[in-house]
Structure 1
Amino acid sequence: MKKTFASDNYSGVHPEVMEALLKANTGHAASYGADEYTERAIAQFKVYFGNDIEVFFAYNGTGANVLGLSALSRSFNSIICSDLAHINVDESTAPEKFLGSKLITIPTKDGKIYPEEIQNKIQRVDDQHHPQANVISISQSTEYGTVYTIDEVKAIADVAKKNNLFFHMDGSRISNAAVSLGKDFASFTRDAGVDVLSFGGTKNGMMFGEAIIFFKPEPARYFKYIRKQGMQLHSKMRFISAQFEVLLSNDLWKRNASHSNRMAKLLEKELRSASVKITRPVDANGIFAILPSAIIPKLQKEHYFYVWDEKTFEVRLMCSFDTTEEEIKSFGATLRKLLK
């Protein structure tokens, strides 16, 4: 299958990550995270986030989100998120099934949720007849490819603190957000008031693997049992850990995310040059645009992508660490030809 603009999940594995996997495949290593690769990977996370964090690895993003939220929420609680949140739209009903909690959604036009909207959803506190809000969850970058500023994250954290709620961040594309902001990871997570972070690796050059990071000790107290119950404890943990070790070393995470973000800006330029309407700010590695319905199937045959909104023909185009300028130019040329 030729490369597409469908998703950064479609991309392959970065060569440096593949090399790390091959090296980890030499000899035997202790299982379930009691290995030197896991020790070194956790040490790398502590370089970025501080020594007093707790880090756990999981297979995939849904597992990381659901398990992270499991440490924060009980079955009588509710979780406040945007109506586009991955936990609401793209994880089937995994959060509801495994948490038993209710998702309270806020309609969003830019992928973000804001303090006043969140406060309005915190209702009937201590009322036994009503689900009790206990967690605010945001995505960084958002499902629309927008990025919360540090001040925006801090403002949400203030609402969480005021109302004694936990603050969870889905960071499946956190590296793209960090590059967009030009800031270190801690500045818009731990230092901004986030309690639990899902740190994504798969969308940024890894084969598989996500990390759940706790910035406070109490929610992590029983997490090793929660992860086991949630079927996300990898017996050969070194094959997740070795990937994170190399991703966080020598700025590979930044090189990959910088490239995919830059490719998105080039693709935006191609679309604008063809007088295509861009519907969302291009903050990270995703572009949203309106295309004439008649050309979409023809364009998809050459450069596959997803239709985000079938009513408005808004499409989503995602760039990856391995997207090339030639592919961007080819897309632009095909688009202009079809628009004639």
Structure 2
Amino acid sequence: MTTLHDAQRRGFASDNYSGVHPEVLAAIAAANGGHQSAYGNDVYTERLQEVIRGHFGEAAQAFPVFNGTGANVTALQSILPRWGAVVCARTAHIHVDEGGAPERVAGLKLLTVATDDGKLTPELVETEAWGYGDEHRAQPLALSITQSTELGTLYTPAEIQALTDLAHSLGMVVHVDGARLSNAAAALGIPFADFTTNAGVDILSLGGTKNGALGAEAVVVLNPDSSAGLLFSRKFNMQLASKMRFVSAQLIALYEGDLWQRNAGHANAMAARLRAALSDVPGIEFSQDTQSNGVFVILPEGVAEPLREHYAFYDWDAARREVRWMCSFDTSEADIDTFAALVRAEVAKHA
């Protein structure tokens, strides 16, 4: 087949823009050939369970799905009754970027909380965790946090423990949107379990696509008592893969060894390199700490559009000229240095 795109084209719009890691492609090819049982009754999905237990503990169970929205919706639906509500940050992906799927598909109410850095605290959660027993209010029965957050910031294990302690004391189940969980673990330098299972998290969405997979995520149940009916809700949410071995093989390739860490660690390092390269440029304001693979900056008037002629990236808050630059597993030092030089030149031109 003829290649339809410029394979040399680079950008900073999203880690979803990147290709597939060669080791993941090789794993898909290795899983091909012959026949395997469908719908998860295959040796690759069975092996994935062992890999996931190695990271998250013996009680963990993985349910492979196609995408992050599907993972979040299926996970949240499985932990809540019809009258349940989810407390989350106002910047949360489930609120901002999932087309209303939690409400429209899962039938859930989101109770959003404003937060400057994308992180929730027990005090912030308490602003929406009230009205228990009031038939006029959707019951706050789940807490969803994102690690790393949509603003590239990180929760420490102690911060997550404080949130789960509060949530559990109120009868809430705790969900983590872990589309970039690998970036968080690589940045923190600790095992996944230290800030999930051991910190009281009940269920999480484990990302793969943003970290080098073709299209592979998983719902991981950490507390079996927290989730009811996930086996069935995955099917009616259209997230049950018939040829699941190819989804599971990708996740095995990422998580069986250290590929997840190599990919995420590299993306984080490239974001740090980009920030360092621009830290002394007058007129650029960094609007968030650069703790994982995203750099958030406020640019001078007129700078963003000329840059976008060469590199794709998104506005985060156009009204204040805030943009987001995301780095990926395949972002190179040359990409960073070339882009940083272009930013410097464009800022100087508009000074």
TM-score, with structure 1 as normaliser: 0.98
Aligned partner of 2:313 among 266, 282, 305: 305
Distance 1:134 1:339 in 2: 48
1:266 has 2:247 as partner: no
1:284 has 2:288 as partner: no
Aligned partner of 1:70 among 77, 95, 110: 77
Aligned partner of 2:17 among 10, 16, 26: 10
Amino acid at match of 1:131: A
Deviations 1:220-278 (A, max 9, x none): 44211110111000000011010111111220000001100000000001221323211
- How many residues align? The count is 340
1:165 has 2:180 as partner: no
Asked whether the 8 Å contact 1:48–1:184 carries over to 2, the reply is: yes
Asked whether the 8 Å contact 1:274–1:335 carries over to 2, the reply is: no
Where does the alignment leave 5 or more consecutive residues of structure 1 unmatched? none
Q: Hey, which bits of structure 1, 4+ residues long, moved more than 3 A?
A: none
2:331 is aligned to 323
1:185 is aligned to 192
1:293 is aligned to 301
Distance 1:181 1:339 in 2: 33
Asked whether the 8 Å contact 1:204–1:320 carries over to 2, the reply is: yes
Deviations 1:202-230 (A, max 9, x none): 00000011111111223444211110111
1:99 is aligned to 106
Deviations 1:14-49 (A, max 9, x none): 000000011112222111011111111111111111
Where does the alignment leave 5 or more consecutive residues of structure 2 unmatched? 1-5
Q: Percent identity?
A: 45
1:81 has 2:109 as partner: no
1:338 is aligned to 346
CA RMSD, Structure 1 to Structure 2 (Å): 1.0
Distance 2:57 2:132 in 1: 34
Distance 2:127 2:286 in 1: 31
Distance 1:250 1:58 in 2: 21
Asked whether the 8 Å contact 2:157–2:194 carries over to 1, the reply is: yes
Listed as ranges, the matches of 1:75-224 within 5 Å are: 75-224=82-231
Of stretches 272-281 and 232-241 in structure 1, the one that deviates more from structure 2 is 272-281
Asked whether the 8 Å contact 1:54–1:220 carries over to 2, the reply is: no
TM-score, with structure 2 as normaliser: 0.95
Amino acid at match of 2:185: A
Amino acid at match of 1:285: N
1:254 is aligned to 261
Deviations 1:111-156 (A, max 9, x none): 0011011112122211112111100000000000000011110010
